[in-house]
Structure 1
């Protein structure tokens, strides 16, 4: 009897671009892709931090280089992607949160969040897809979205708006680019313990709210995201596109 074989989770020979790779979820996902065999380009605004990360990667025998870039600058993003060889994998973890009550949101905060979370995300995906299509290559495009792309949250109207928009964008891009064998998906974490979220977790009332909503009873850690990144980048997810992978401990199950 011939038995089916599990498709490979390996990424050897693939080029991956990880935006927002200087810390937190982005850095963790970049490490996961590199460990799986991809040659990873670490992308963020902080060149010094990227260099330190790349050195840590190469010390482990992984392939890594750096690209200092602000993805909210669409023209610079387009130029950088056009100048590079096509990336088989894009994981965009660049994001911004400015939490205020909806009545207190300023136009400046609105534009800053949307400029990175939606506008920057959109045109980075577009630039990577254009290069893949021109080269006749398949690819996997992933965005770190959020459980807040599927529910609402206090003091998060702008952030929720940006992530709900990313979810819709992802579905539309998946439909358009499917014939080119480019898959487009989101990864939707719950609250993850990072330096950026430490202020939230240091507030006892907010931490209690988070832990009550997460059915598994604990906040997330960056390691909880890494396997999803490898799965969606690899042949193991060859028929997965236009979808959101929830890593929320059951938050959205209600």
Structure 2
């Protein structure tokens, strides 16, 4: 069953990790896919190739999500290529791990601009296009388990992910009258570029794995199914929701 047949799906930060898995997963379900990427044209091109191998059409658009004009350009390029906008997956994010007491202002501000401001600009630009079309749509934002729990070296990161979660709740109210659904996914510890260095510490990796009831750290592909579901008509009455995808880590307090 192809859940996104004929739809146009936009994914930010899609050259690697969760964004890449979501983009390829959407293509496997029949979508045309526009991907945003920040720096690596080679990785973006390989993602486009995988999308095409899955039977989808794809374009890659470079841009810094922290800039509002990037969102406008991305949505315009996708609409020019595929004729419409149906789904926005706001995924782009950074987490330069750093201690709290000596956090450089520029690290805090950059993290806020990419993770929270970038999500706002992208979701807003996509929503404007969807409202103009008059046929509804879906927005899925990649928040984090960090929206619900703290992290010693993530004092700049966790507030942005809580903000993304809150943004989807408020946008669900603002956009419901237009038939646009807004939901978030909250990944647990997923093996991606964002935490590769942090999880290089095998002792820490083993400790984190031991806390997860399903007995393993997550893979980027574990997010593709939940994102496709929330983007699809199977979730037609789901909006303002947050779906934990963490192998049970959040509930394992004992």
- TM-score, reference length from structure 1: 0.92
Q: Report the Cα offset of residue 28 of structure 1.
A: 0.5
Give 5+ residue unaligned stretches, structure 1. 1-7
Residues 133-152 of structure 1 aligned to structure 2 (within 5 Å): 133-152=131-150
User: Could you tell which deviates more after superposition, 52-61 or 154-163?
Assistant: 52-61
Report if the CA contact (8 A) 2:123-2:139 is conserved: yes
Alpha-carbon separation, structure 2, partners of 1:57 and 1:70: 22
1:80, distance to aligned residue in structure 2 (A): 3.6
CA change 1:248–1:80 in 2 (3 A) is closer
Contact 1:185 1:241 in 2 (8 A): yes
Per the alignment, in what secondary structure is the counterpart of residue 43 of structure 1? strand
Aligned CA RMSD, in angstroms, stands at 1.6
Q: Deviation at 1:153?
A: 1.6
Contact 1:9 1:236 in 2 (8 A): no
The more displaced of 216-225 and 200-209 is: 200-209
**Is residue 2:48 matched to residue 1:54?**
yes
Cα distance, 1:22 vs structure 2? 0.3
Q: Is the 8 A contact 1:14 1:37 kept in 2?
A: yes
Alignment of 1:1-254 (within 5 A): 10-45=3-38, 46-82=40-76, 84-85=78-79, 86-253=84-251, 254=253
Superposition deviation, residue 197 in structure 1: 2.2
- CA distance in 2 between counterparts of 1:154 and 1:168 reads 22
Runs of at least 5 residues in structure 2 that lack an aligned partner in the other structure: none
The offset of 1:84, in angstroms, is 4.4
What is the CA deviation profile of residues 214-243 of structure 1, one whole-angstrom value per residue up to 9, with x for unaligned ones? 222211012211110110111111111111
Q: Structure 1 CA distance, aligned partners of 2:31 and 2:144?
A: 25
Q: Note the C-alpha offset of 1:152.
A: 1.0
CA contact (8 A) 1:9 1:231 kept: no
- 4+ residue runs over 4 A deviation: none
CA shift for structure 1 position 61? 2.4
Q: How many pairs are equivalent?
A: 247
TM-score by structure 2 length? Answer: 0.92
1:9 touches 1:235 (CA, 8 Å); kept in 2? Answer: no
